């Protein structure tokens, strides 16, 4: 029998009790995601506050020991010598330029202060063909420069700038006569435009011969493994005392960059040539007073030893010694040799096989010095004493 509570109210029917409504699934999923996101944000914020509170610490630096004596010496030499080294730029407009607006070619190299009068020494090929030359001093001052003189066959040139007192310091001068293979050397220059670059090495060899841009042989050249690259040309080569011992001029390299074989014009040659360039604008060479034919001409007529005299200057030492030149006369449409001149085969006892050797032999002597000239005339060898004069 149903209880009173279960009994239906009279006049009504039995209806099951209504259940409470359940939230939709999507709403529950949104709530879960929102709660997760809030938790992540809170944790990340707390982590960031922790990072700001504890910054990362760099590793401690190990104290440096004292520099080695040779390091100190190198540093001191660079500090002292770099104030004498300059950066050289040259501008040249091509002969075939199509327009005045066409950009001129730009060359660059190095140089160094020679004296207190603003003279700068560099390589001839650095300024060859330039319409204008500028020199950048160690204090970054840029000054126009004029060419005072050049010796293309030695690849040397002298410039002059109007620098203020104290802007340039001449380099101390050394000697190349007492150099030894293996001794330490330093090169300062502007390779690839990176100004005031120092490289070190040793004297790799002495007495090398290289060909200048004029085809003449430069003798007694210094070979070094100190890195020399394009832009180093004209810069100084120094010994371990910081003295000038050479002018960097060429490298032997298949790529055009340093391959450990660089060459420098010896300072004894530089010290002989530069004063003449400053005073005369050219090299005054000792000369017996003769003009000689080219090697090509001599070989064509069957002379394979020595140099053939073309002309003897009237009143010269060679004229007084009785040397004879070549007489060439016109015969109809052609020219013929009426008399073959003397062929010089030795200078002061040193054999000379061609014009280059002849000129180099003369350069070993001084103006006013009396030397013996060996020559061949009509197939017979003879000698004559001549006093060298200044070349004309």
- Nearest one of 363, 365, 386 to 374, comparing CA atoms: 386
Annotated catalytic residue: which of 153, 155, 239, 295?
155
Let me know if 155 is a catalytic residue: yes
Annotated catalytic residue: which of 90, 119, 125, 287?
125
Question: Cα separation of 20 and 67, whole Å?
Answer: 89
- Nearest one of 244, 299, 254, 296 to 274, comparing CA atoms: 244
Helices (H), the chain: 25-53, 69-81, 124-127, 267-280, 295-300, 317-321, 355-363
Question: Cα separation of 28 and 36, whole Å?
Answer: 13
Question: Cα separation of 160 and 258, whole Å?
Answer: 30
**What residues contact 145, with CB distance under 8 A and at least 6 apart?**
88, 120, 133, 134, 135, 159, 160, 161
Count of residues in the chain: 392
Annotated catalytic residue: which of 90, 110, 204, 233?
233
Integer CA distances (angstroms), 381 to 56, 142, 287, 341, 350, in order: 91, 59, 21, 13, 15
Q: Find out whether 359 and 336 touch, Cβ atoms under 8 Å.
A: no
Active site residues per annotation: 125, 155, 233
């Amino acid at each position: 029998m149903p209880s009173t509570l279960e009994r239906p109210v009279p006049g009504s029917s039995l209806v099951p009790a209504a259940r409470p409504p359940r939230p939709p699934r999507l709403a529950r999923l949104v709530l879960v995601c929102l709660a997760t996101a809030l938790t992540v944000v809170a944790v990340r914020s707390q982590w960031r506050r922790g990072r700001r509170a504890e910054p990362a610490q760099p590793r401690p630096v190990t104290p440096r020991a004292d520099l080695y004596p040779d390091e100190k010496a190198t540093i001191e030499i660079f500090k002292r010598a770099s104030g004498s080294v300059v950066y050289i730029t040259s501008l040249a407009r091509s002969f075939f330029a199509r327009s005045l607006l066409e950009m001129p070619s730009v060359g660059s190299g190095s140089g160094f202060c020679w004296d207190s009068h603003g003279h700068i020494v560099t390589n001839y090929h650095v300024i060859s063909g330039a319409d204008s030359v500028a020199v950048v001093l160690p204090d970054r001052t840029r000054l126009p420069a004029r060419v005072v003189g050049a010796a293309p066959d030695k690849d040397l040139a002298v410039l002059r700038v109007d620098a203020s007192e104290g802007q340039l310091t001449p380099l101390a001068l050394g000697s190349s006569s007492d150099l030894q293979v293996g001794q330490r050397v330093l090169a300062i220059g502007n390779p690839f435009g990176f100004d005031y670059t120092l490289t070190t090495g040793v004297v790799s060899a002495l007495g090398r011969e290289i060909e200048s841009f004029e085809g003449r042989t430069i003798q007694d050249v210094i070979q070094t493994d100190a890195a020399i690259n394009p832009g180093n040309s004209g810069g100084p080569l120094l010994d371990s005392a910081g003295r000038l011992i050479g002018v960097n001029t060429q490298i032997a390299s298949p790529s055009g960059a340093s391959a450990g074989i660089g060459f420098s014009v010896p300072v004894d040659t530089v010290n002989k040539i530069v004063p003449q360039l400053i005073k005369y604008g050219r090299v005054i060479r000792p000369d017996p007073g003769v003009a000689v034919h080219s090697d090509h001409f001599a070989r064509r007529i069957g002379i394979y030893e020595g140099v053939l005299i073309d002309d003897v200057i009237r009143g010269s030492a060679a004229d007084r010694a009785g040397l004879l030149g070549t007489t060439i006369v016109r015969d109809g449409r052609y020219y013929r040799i009426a008399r073959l001149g003397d062929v010089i085969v030795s200078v002061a006892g040193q054999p000379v096989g061609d014009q280059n050797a002849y000129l180099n032999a003369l350069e070993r002597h001084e103006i006013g010095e009396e030397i013996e000239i060996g020559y061949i005339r009509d197939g017979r060898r003879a000698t004559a004493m001549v006093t060298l004069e200044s070349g004309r």
